[in-house]
């Protein structure tokens, strides 16, 4: 089945599936023929060297890297909490994921800030456009997509967001889904950033996965219908959903993001 036909089939599934009728779906998006780069920033409010990386990721769109090229996610880790400031956005699950990615690269030490693009560490992330994140993203974009992803979002109500993700990829790949939030700010009262007001975007607030892409036919297709937890007080305009497909070796086959729709 060629890529255009796969995309047509998935678009039809998103529009006509039972989820759409049941949840008053307001918007949907389909992944492009090229590979969209997944960027993961591992950061912490307890880390004095992290704010520049947070700002760098927040400015990706202004730097000329749109959603069609890169899906950024900021995952706050918990191993800096002991020095006096508990990061409210941190999760031990994100620490474990960082250890997994580092283990794939045979790296024993994890640190913040650390940036991965498509599952591979980028140490010179702030380098010129030929290198760093911009260069890594462009190299990923040059590859044909190895997976198809479709996201459909319902209306956020009562602290939850109905989400449907459909994907097709090689059997054995894994699907991940994340709710992210922009426009966050914290007044830090302890630790290395004491007295600072830190601002964050693309912060992961809910996380689903890994979900194996296999079934009785072993065709690599999967459909996920789930309600993601929306943080109390979060403004819909600051929320979005990201989905990506990754192999056990860390290769990201495709990524996609969709902000919540207005109205």
Q: Are 121 and 114 in contact (CB under 8 A)?
A: yes
Residue 201 pLDDT exceeds 70: yes
- pTM for the whole thing? 0.89
Contact 105, 115 (CB under 8 A): no
pLDDT in tens, 149-171: 999 999 888 899 999 999 999 88
- Is there a contact between 117 and 37 (Cβ–Cβ < 8 Å)? yes
Q: Give the rounded percent of residues in the chain with a pLDDT score beyond 70.
A: 86
The answer to whether 35 and 144 are in contact (CB under 8 A) is yes
pLDDT tens digit string along 80-105? Answer: 999 999 999 999 999 999 999 999 98
29-39 mean pLDDT: 98
Q: Enumerate the domain spans of the chain.
A: 3-259
pLDDT at 17 over 70: no
**In the chain, at which residue ranges do the beta strands (DSSP E only) sit?**
27-30, 37-43, 70-76, 114-117, 120-121, 148-153, 160-168, 174-181, 184-187, 197-200, 203-212, 221-229, 239-246, 252-259
């Amino acid at each position: 089945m060629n890529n255009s036909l796969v995309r047509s089939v998935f678009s039809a599934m998103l529009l006509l599936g039972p989820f759409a009728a049941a949840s008053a779906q307001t918007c949907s998006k389909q992944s492009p023929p090229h590979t969209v780069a997944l960027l993961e920033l591992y950061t912490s409010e307890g880390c004095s060297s992290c704010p520049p990386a947070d700002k760098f990721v927040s400015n990706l769109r202004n730097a000329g890297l749109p959603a069609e090229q890169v899906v950024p996610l900021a995952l706050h880790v918990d191993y800096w909490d002991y020095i006096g400031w508990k990061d409210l956005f941190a999760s031990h699950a994100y620490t474990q994921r960082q250890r997994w990615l580092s283990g794939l690269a045979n790296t024993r030490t994890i640190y913040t800030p650390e940036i991965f693009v498509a599952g591979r560490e980028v140490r010179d992330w702030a380098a010129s456009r030929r290198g760093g994140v911009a260069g890594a993203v462009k190299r990923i974009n040059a590859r044909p997509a190895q997976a198809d992803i479709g996201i459909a979002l319902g209306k956020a109500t009562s602290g939850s967001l109905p989400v449907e993700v459909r994907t097709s990829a090689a059997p054995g790949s894994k699907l991940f889904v994340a709710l992210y939030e922009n426009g966050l700010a914290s007044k830090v009262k302890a630790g290395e950033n004491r007295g600072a007001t830190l601002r964050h975007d693309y912060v992961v607030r809910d996380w689903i996965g890994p979900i194996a892409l296999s079934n009785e036919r072993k065709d690599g297709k999967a459909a996920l219908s789930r309600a993601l937890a929306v943080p109390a007080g979060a403004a819909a305009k600051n929320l979005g959903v990201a989905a990506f497909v990754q192999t056990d070796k860390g290769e990201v086959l495709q990524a996609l993001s969709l902000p919540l729709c207005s109205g």
